[in-house]
Structure 1
């Protein structure tokens, strides 16, 4: 048999296999219920919105965005205090001047300026009892020196991890420092004083920061964010972080399906078919696309309607779930201009590496405006927490402060949670074993597999600026596959 004959027979076999397993029948939909596009984009957060703008507006590629919420923006959360009509950013706080960030703001006419964080009095309390901890935080100079040492380290290896892990070395060539448990690395490199700042900004290491591979901390706090902290170059929109996404929605409206969820999917090398359903009218629509770009975090729950194959399951099943909530709460019993840090007692008197030695952490920080006793809530856990359970954890943690006499208040403190958003996700397998077995290479081998491309915070650093930069590299490769 000739090579040509073999190729033809192979294609016939592939086609037969496809039609034999096909579950989605286009005849079940009328003409108005079928949408054909070059690329179907799953998710309208930072990655999905950026990819949609680039593909449709700049690269002559037709798109459709499928977003389960009724707005674009992902981890951008904005609350308006009705008493003063003040906007409070309780999700994404600021941006690095990295990748396409500045150009994206300018493109949509979003004015921005330097980011300045509020100066708050810090109250460190025991996460279990609410009592004041005898914990001495690092001096500012020590923190700065630790961050500068960390900066030198991440700068040395930046080409291996940003934007994304396209150039990550094979298991036998991974830098030994990446595989080292972070606790051992931090002590060896004398960066312990930088750890509180690193975990406060990134949220990394809930349960035990020290057992993570150093690479996982690099992924959470790499070069761009470290430079932003050391050099003080973070920026923020002058009006609202949501403004960018509002204007992107106005531009892309005709190609966005808000309030829509995936019901069923078929993917193969020839293209994808996706059935979506609108929560508003329960109408089902068939999306036919040459490629699909997945942007949410790849949990098994999210991927359930996405017809994973054995190769994808092998990569995604071992990931570790994490539960994160951010919100705004009125807490009248805590003094304004205060930041309450709930930490394990193990940090006493100054064990900075023990700062995450508890199954959850909680931070409450004054947001302003004055007189409203509004606090930004940040809650992270390594166990399952529902929306209602998160509210209850915040309320009970505040009451602990009252019962312990940490705050000057008698009776029950009426906590009013104004807004609360889930920023849950999944993390790469902990420790270095998976890295030594080629996890990164297996992960990135999924790019383009079954007409599917992947982006978002699970594939790079989770900050919007990093996600935009990485998504640009995915878009370039996706286009070549078209």
Structure 2
């Protein structure tokens, strides 16, 4: 497997972590639990509820932010008092997703999009892409239906997650084709714009991404529900309400605004020193198992003292830099969605819309009075950049809209006022076909359970809430079984 050839290199970067002296902690600062959950996003919150309420397991959740919910971001406009969900917008009914909302008495309703006028502009100039016309709705639906017919046979090796994914020559060859070749072979190029808008896949060029990774981004459940129009949202409530109610339930077992500074892991359990952001106080958590829910990058796991095989497997992932925001933009009329596409995008080159190092969409915030000019922004790049860098690029893009006269009849005021801004940075499966054949998927999944550490979250499944919860439900029985297997319960 690919793991073997990386071990020598990995050994040179394995973390060295200071040992934890339990005697340095007062008894009241030592917390003993069955499972320590790192991260209180969608997967961490769901796992905490399932473990504590349904599986009779003592838990503690350690979350760096001041709330649960992760990428569920809600901005409440102080003028209209209307909530804008600018992180997660809608939910799949896949698995038990709807039931989890019912559990917290959150009513749901079908997701509908506000009608908006779409404008396609060049990433370089902000001017209208006169050579580009979006595919018709009929063409897009037809292409997506064909995509489903072509891919649903792979449900057994991709859902929930990659537990059963093959290696070597057993990997279906068409999944290792560049998506551009796959799309042209089957005549589904018209699906590319929807794939990029919904899943944000293909920054730098979707045609170069392996078909397998496009399937990870726009997989079987989201394709089915997109075609059936069965997505849902909370009825007359923000998406954050679910996590507010989950926090009220879990409050006594959640530690907010804290992070792990030192971790020790062994086959017998974990010890974690956590530091509060608001004080110098530290606590020691002793747990039989740890469930890690953020992106499992080498950097995120550094405090836990990675071993050579862990570093070797996890260092193969590719970083992604993504940002979600709400901004006041007078230069764009209300009721418009602006999509910044690569300048070479043309009527017959739907696959080329993302042939650029970054992507940006600016859409009118729903239900907000038009005179407020509030817009939701999604920005992502295939290279490292800070919040300030992202804001600078977005600001320049808005200025270019005015300079180029894209909205000539509207305000010449090219200012942009960011009222909410969050990063959604993560890591992606982008290993080449050779590494997939060599067994990198199996190497990564072999980390599940090692050193009392289990994993869930967006990397391990399609990165939609329903998929993440379904994958979590496949991890939890394994975690519970490991607690019983060596007599720790």
TM bucket, shorter chain: over 0.9
- Displacement of 1:413 in angstroms is 1.4
- Segments of 4+ in structure 1 off by > 4 A? 409-412
> Aligned to 1:286, what secondary structure does the other structure show?
strand
| Equivalence for 2:433 | 432
- Displacement of 1:384 in angstroms is 1.1
- Displacement of 1:303 in angstroms is 1.5
- Please tell me whether the aligned partners of residues 49 and 72 of structure 1 are also in contact (alpha carbons under 8 angstroms): yes
- Return 86-95 or 406-415, whichever deviates more: 406-415
- Please tell me whether the aligned partners of residues 18 and 262 of structure 2 are also in contact (alpha carbons under 8 angstroms): no
| Equivalence for 2:391 | 391
The Cα offsets for residues 361-415 of structure 1, whole Å up to 9 and x where unpaired, read as: 0000001412211110000100112112222221111000011111225654121
Match of 1:309 among 307, 310, 316: 307
| Equivalence for 2:486 | none
**Equivalent residues in 2 for 1:425-464, closer than 5 Å:** 425-464=426-465
> Aligned to 1:301, what secondary structure does the other structure show?
coil
| Equivalence for 1:273 | 271
- Displacement of 1:33 in angstroms is 1.0
- Displacement of 1:350 in angstroms is 3.0
- Counterpart CA distance in 2 for 1:472 and 1:390 is 36
**Equivalent residues in 2 for 1:153-302, closer than 5 Å:** 153-238=150-235, 239-302=237-300
| Equivalence for 1:415 | 416
- Counterpart CA distance in 1 for 2:193 and 2:431 is 20
> Aligned to 1:275, what secondary structure does the other structure show?
strand
Match of 2:114 among 115, 118, 131: 118
- Please tell me whether the aligned partners of residues 36 and 291 of structure 2 are also in contact (alpha carbons under 8 angstroms): yes
| Equivalence for 2:9 | none
> Aligned to 2:304, what secondary structure does the other structure show?
coil
**Equivalent residues in 2 for 1:13-28, closer than 5 Å:** 23-28=19-24
The Cα offsets for residues 64-93 of structure 1, whole Å up to 9 and x where unpaired, read as: 000000000011000001111100110001
- Counterpart CA distance in 2 for 1:430 and 1:229 is 28
Residue 102 of structure 2 corresponds to residue 106 of structure 1? yes
- Could you tell me which runs of 5 or more consecutive residues in structure 2 were left unpaired when the two chains were aligned: 1-16, 484-489
Count of paired positions:
463
- Counterpart CA distance in 1 for 2:280 and 2:151 is 49
| Equivalence for 1:152 | 149
- Displacement of 1:22 in angstroms is 7.2
| Equivalence for 2:401 | 401
| Equivalence for 1:10 | none
- Counterpart CA distance in 1 for 2:335 and 2:432 is 38
- Displacement of 1:323 in angstroms is 0.3
- Counterpart CA distance in 2 for 1:283 and 1:356 is 47
| Equivalence for 2:365 | 367
| Equivalence for 1:382 | 382
User: How has the CA–CA distance of structure 1 residues 322 and 22 changed in structure 2, closer, same or farther, with 3 Å as cutoff?
Assistant: closer
| Equivalence for 1:46 | 42
- Please tell me whether the aligned partners of residues 181 and 431 of structure 1 are also in contact (alpha carbons under 8 angstroms): no
- Counterpart CA distance in 2 for 1:433 and 1:186 is 21
- Counterpart CA distance in 2 for 1:115 and 1:282 is 45
- Please tell me whether the aligned partners of residues 213 and 430 of structure 1 are also in contact (alpha carbons under 8 angstroms): no
- Please tell me whether the aligned partners of residues 312 and 446 of structure 1 are also in contact (alpha carbons under 8 angstroms): yes
Residue 91 of structure 2 corresponds to residue 95 of structure 1? yes
- Displacement of 1:170 in angstroms is 2.7
C-alpha RMSD of the superposition = 1.3
The Cα offsets for residues 86-110 of structure 1, whole Å up to 9 and x where unpaired, read as: 0011000100111110110000000
- Could you tell me which runs of 5 or more consecutive residues in structure 1 were left unpaired when the two chains were aligned: 1-20
- Counterpart CA distance in 1 for 2:430 and 2:184 is 23
**Equivalent residues in 2 for 1:457-476, closer than 5 Å:** 457-476=458-477
- Counterpart CA distance in 1 for 2:213 and 2:260 is 31
The Cα offsets for residues 131-155 of structure 1, whole Å up to 9 and x where unpaired, read as: 1102011111110110000111221
